[in-house]
Amino acid sequence: MRKKIVAGNWKMNLNYLEGVSLFSEISNMAKDELTNNQQLIICSPFIHLQSLVQLSKGYENVSIGAQNCHSEEKGAYTGEVSASQLHSIGVEYVILGHSERRLYFQEDNQLLEKKVALALKNNLKVIYCIGETLEERESQQYLKVIAEQLKSVLGGLNPQVMKNVVIAYEPVWAIGTGKTASPEQAQEVHAYIREQISSLFDAQLALETSILYGGSCNPTNAESLFSQADIDGGLIGGASLKSRDFLDIAKTFNSL
């Protein structure tokens, strides 16, 4: 059975104490309310990571992730953080390919191929985000865009390391906009992603890969999305900043 994952992307929110306090609330609720096959991943700003890694130690189904890392091992890259530095403090995951990084920081598939490979080489697990813009959806280009984002960034990986990759489908037009993809729209793309993984690697790997949905996911719409056959959880932005909402989204799996 594929792991059910609900990941929170805090983006550039919360000062240090606010982050620690939100994390404590979330992890305590998770202990009481979640079952074993459910995993939470909290992707915080860099400033929280080391403390959250320590705080997460007593909680089996709560992991910690970063929101970015650099494409080079080390060197004169002022202000950047490397994959090996993240790994050295016990960070388990890193989000790569988020549309905000593609858009505001000009990260293209070529750069992301390097970042993903280097993160995996340094023993981080990767939440690789893909998704089309509104224009690409309306011009019926969305599946082509998704196929390219998968092939060019993941296509060269050794299948052995693919077990450390989680895919997040996040239609750009649904992120932070309050517009969610319908369950049918999301399921169509998730099934297509699984097919692509199957043809790039193999069918078994495709069956085992967790594919998350992201974009205005909340406690009200989570059930209709997560009940789709190929949706294995969510990558949550806004609603991950409220402990009750975040846990309610994760708890959706208790009743499916």
Q: Which residue is nearest to ligand PGA (CB)?
A: 237
What's the per-residue H, E or C state across 95-150?
A: EECCHHHHHHCCCCHHHHHHHHHHHHHCCCEEEEEECCCHHHHHCCCHHHHHHHHH
In the set 237, 243, 246, 250, which binds ligand PGA (CB under 6 A)? 237
The reply on whether position 45 binds ligand PGA by CB under 6 A is no
Out of 176, 179, 203, 207, which residue is the one contacting ligand PGA (CB under 6 A)? 176
Which candidate in 98, 113, 132, 190 is catalytic? 98
- In the residue annotation, 98 being an active-site residue is answered as yes
Tokens 């092939």 found at: 151
Pairing status of strand 4-9 against strand 125-130 = unpaired
Write down the least CB distance from residue 112 to ligand PGA, Å: 16
Among 170, 232, 245, 248, binds ligand PGA (CB under 6 A): 170
Q: Is 88 helix (H, G, I), strand (E, B) or coil?
A: helix
For strand 93-96 and strand 165-169, is the pairing parallel, antiparallel, or unpaired?
A: unpaired
Stretch that binds ligand PGA, among 21-29, 132-140, 183-191, 210-218 (CB under 6 A): 210-218
Would you call 16 helix, strand, or coil by DSSP?
helix
Residue 103, interface with ligand PGA (CB under 6 A)? no
Binding positions for ligand PGA, rule: CB under 6 A: 9, 170, 175-176, 214-217, 235-239
